[in-house]
Amino acid sequence: MSNLKEEIRNNLNKLQDEINFIFAQGRDTVLSEVTVGQVYGGMRGLTALACNTSYVDPYSGLHIGEYTTEDFSSRLPEEIFFLLCTGKFPESDFIGKFREDLNQRTSVPEYTWNLLRTLPKDTHPMTMLSLGILSMEKESVFKKEYQKGIQKSQYWEYTLEDALNVIAKLPELAAGIYRIRFGDGNLIPHNPDLDWAGNLANMLGLPNSGKDFSELIRLYLVLHCDHEGGNVSAFTSRVVNSALSDLYYAISAGLNGLAGPLHGLANQECLKFILKIDDRYGDSLTEEEVRKYVFETLDSGKVIPGYGHAVLRVTDPRFTAFMKFGDTYCAENNCFKITKKLFAVVPGILKTYKGGKVANPWPNVDAVSGSLLYNFGLDQFDYYTVLFGVSRILGFCAQNILALGLGQPIIRPKSVTNKWIIDKLRER
Ligand code: FAM
């Protein structure tokens, strides 16, 4: 942990030097102009944020520091958190020390379990995760220290404390949500000898959980960790934290955005889609039948889940990493086979659909992740976005720690009315 803190400090110094250099070149330099289309079009393509944890290149996908998805996909989530915060991988002794530190912080308060147990049985697990984290807000170290009166330069240090406290509790909290919502409600204790992903895999208590399932959970928690700063959940979390609402508020808010079907919920939508195809056509499914089903879906006004992206313009390398796992561990699984057939058919259809208006016809990470989980008996789709959320919290934490360490101000862009825009157009 001390190593992590030191390396974050080094990274902040480096990033601050870069910002000083950028400002010295001219604070008024124009990076991006805003069109009327962008104002009404979800700000797509507008370069208006700096995020130093990760970067999504439209053609090569997610990069963390200098590393591509392929470079980091075999690592542990703990190492990825270090990488997000510091821009480099930790030394080999980090994992053991970090585990010891997290082991001191794991216990989820009883009042959180009481709250989660009293929710109606059909509460969505994402609501439970968001509420579970929000319920612990009174534990925020940042909030307590802020109330005492701390220097702005210390904000990130107490936010790091909050981050470690939340991250340590996530396997227990997320697995507990699964056990309460879908199991017998009995919690499986945390095992201090297992790593972060191994603990989550183990505490879910699935009948088929073994080494391969732990490997899938590790990969899952690595691949979903961060996706630069402008996506709904990361941006929401950053906006909330920029008001100096502590990490518990910011994480919960980010998760609420992740819960939408166009964002994190797409993985569960995608598996439902695949299972409907399986139900209708069974084992002998042909590409022609897949094509027919895809057109039927589009003609009914629905999107094809797992395809398209606001930034990417190629097959998501995270999809490719999961496909590689699928080829090794579940090549004969029916859902995985359908995933492959969809991959063979959907891009060709989306390329020309609606006169080619789909900006990216290629699959994103959600097109395959559900099939893999399903193969291992994790058949509660509603739970999939919780796993996405557990991973993405690493990114929320890292983004907020760095932003506070760089003294970034409250986020407050300007909005205008239609009338303001019409008047502006008339002035031309
Ligand atoms: N199927 C059908 N139509 C699609 C489509 C898809 N998969 N992807 C985009 N389009 C349509 C889109 O609905 C829009 O049509 P309208 O103008 O009629 O509304 C048009 O193509 C242009 O949209 P775009 O510029 O290509 O995409 P956006 O940047 O607006 O939206 C997505 C990006 C991801 C929300 C969109 O591609 C989508 O809805 N995909 C399916 C849901 C999904 O997989 N979401 C997961 C995204 C993932 F990366 C994540 O956050 N986990």
- Spans of all domains in the chain: 265-376
Cα–Cα dist 307/315, whole Å: 9
Give me the pLDDT at residue 2, please.
Answer: 55
Cα–Cα dist 325/318, whole Å: 11
Cα–Cα dist 317/131, whole Å: 32
- Residue 371: both structure tokens together: 């099939």
Q: Which of 231, 307, 391, when mutated, tests ligand 1's pocket best, judged by the most ligand atoms within 8 Å of its CB?
A: 307
Q: Which atom of ligand 1 is nearest to the CA of 360?
A: 26
Q: Is the shortest distance between the CB of 263 and ligand 1 below 6 Å?
A: yes
State the residue for tokens 């970034």: 408
Active-site residue flag, 263: yes
Q: Which of 309, 316, 349, 386, when mutated, tests ligand 1's pocket best, judged by the most ligand atoms within 8 Å of its CB?
A: 309
Cα–Cα dist 23/381, whole Å: 47
Give me the pLDDT at residue 358, please.
Answer: 95
Active-site residue flag, 124: no
Q: Is the shortest distance between the CB of 307 and ligand 1 below 6 Å?
A: yes
Q: Is the shortest distance between the CB of 142 and ligand 1 below 6 Å?
A: no
Q: Is the shortest distance between the CB of 419 and ligand 1 below 6 Å?
A: no
Q: What phi and psi, each to the nearest 5 degrees, are found at residue 120?
A: -55, 150
pLDDT, one tens digit per residue, over 81-122 is 999 999 999 999 999 999 999 999 999 999 999 999 999 999
Nearest CA to ligand 1 atom 48: 263
Active-site residue flag, 309: yes
Give me the pLDDT at residue 354, please.
Answer: 86
Asked whether the ipTM of the predicted complex exceeds the cut of 0.90, the reply is: yes
Q: Is the shortest distance between the CB of 310 and ligand 1 below 6 Å?
A: yes
Report the alpha-carbon angle 116-118-124, nearest 5.
55
Residues of the chain with pLDDT under 70: 1-2
Closest CA to 198 of 220, 176, 181, 183: 220
Q: Is the shortest distance between the CB of 358 and ligand 1 below 6 Å?
A: yes
Supply the CATH classification number for the domain 265-376.
1.10.230.10
Cα–Cα dist 428/417, whole Å: 18
**pTM of the model as a whole:** 0.95
